[in-house]
Structure 1
């Protein structure tokens, strides 16, 4: 990629533009764990096939993408896994968090999930499955909404930018019970801050309930959130809320262990 002046004399615009396009292609590749064809990827990205091919070639050279010569499909490369492992190690998620989450699941008999705030979404970093056949999953690396999940509400309620998030988050209705009123959402976040935990009663998906707590830094801001989730037919909200002391104990342990 060459760097050239724009008509107005600003340099470097071509590089910035191509980096943005490459990142978009990389993000789209993440939506196709089994790989995607060049034409489909170009259509999704909104770029010409030739441009998409050039971007993929550059990503492949650096190990961020790979292609299958037989199927001619592209997928994410192992370089991303390597970087992800480094981030996980640096944040202490793997070595510190997993034992705590496993102990919590042993206490509740239900899955334990962990997420961090990333912009206007939550990013799942861990999910420990329980002993039951039917499980609620939050696959590491996937993203979820903030306004209708217990962990999301905790991350908003204890975020430094809480007021801005309350005012700017899209309150998309994902189930009949999703909070979509700005005023109601503000009251909900205030309630979460006051009581120290959040619930989601079939707000994200019908049939799923969850309770979550923040993992707080010394300044009172959330560095993560943990939750217990279960099918609504199996667990009442009262039963889930009975797990709050165990969740808060786990959160305190994580807060003391996770690097910041």
Structure 2
């Protein structure tokens, strides 16, 4: 039973990578399961509203039940009603996008992204997972996690860009620096041409509830320009830290 639940969750995760839908054969190939097993899992997921199929294209996609559950989580964590006004006000001050993420295992999950007025924007799609070791928010979430030592020791330091930190010793020094400074910078470490500065949203215990960042194209903002946004980011983080549920 547990094995089938795990397989069903794996299929759900793969469906999430194909918002426009995916065919049965392709999904079975990606999952590594027989077509018959994949079809049986999809049928069960459809019965409960977690997946849907298009009779015309014969493609499968996520169902609205997941959206409903996601909205409940967002409401319970206070993200929708409380966070968005704070993020919008921050974007008005910086003129750049504001992103918000939370820790989920060895990844971060983007929960909000407020776009700025510029034509070229850095986006963080809500619900999408991202790395911790090479992003400003990810570094903050690690640095102020209750189990940061474990994260520093075990995170996979995948080289996603030429400037990604891949040395365990260097990463440990970076996280300690983030703890001392209270903010993190990602200087084209996740993707070439993108810089960001982030701060943790701390609870009363000093651990991160979430993280905020301001991100911009590298041609538009240097590290010094982004660091100038740190006071505004900290003010927003303090406001959120006082009102977000733990």
Shorter-normalised TM range = over 0.9
Q: Which of these residues, 12, 18, 22, is aligned with residue 26 of structure 1?
A: 12
CA distance in 1, matches of 2:28, 2:158: 28
Shift of 1:180: 0.6
Q: Match of 1:204? A: 190
Normalised to the residue count of structure 2, the TM-score between the two structures is 1.00
Normalised to the residue count of structure 1, the TM-score between the two structures is 0.94
Q: Aligned residues, how many?
A: 246
5 Å matches for 1:1-260?
A: 15-260=1-246
Aligned to 2:125, the other structure's residue is in SS state coil
CA distance in 2, matches of 1:64, 1:92: 24
Shift of 1:178: 0.6
- What are the Cα deviations for residues 41-70 of structure 1, in whole angstroms up to 9, with x where unaligned? 000101110110000000000000000000
Q: 4+ runs of 1 displaced by more than 4 Å?
A: none
- What are the Cα deviations for residues 10-64 of structure 1, in whole angstroms up to 9, with x where unaligned? xxxxx11110110000110000000000000000101110110000000000000
Unaligned runs of 5+ in 1: 1-14
Unaligned runs of 5+ in 2: none
Shift of 1:236: 1.1
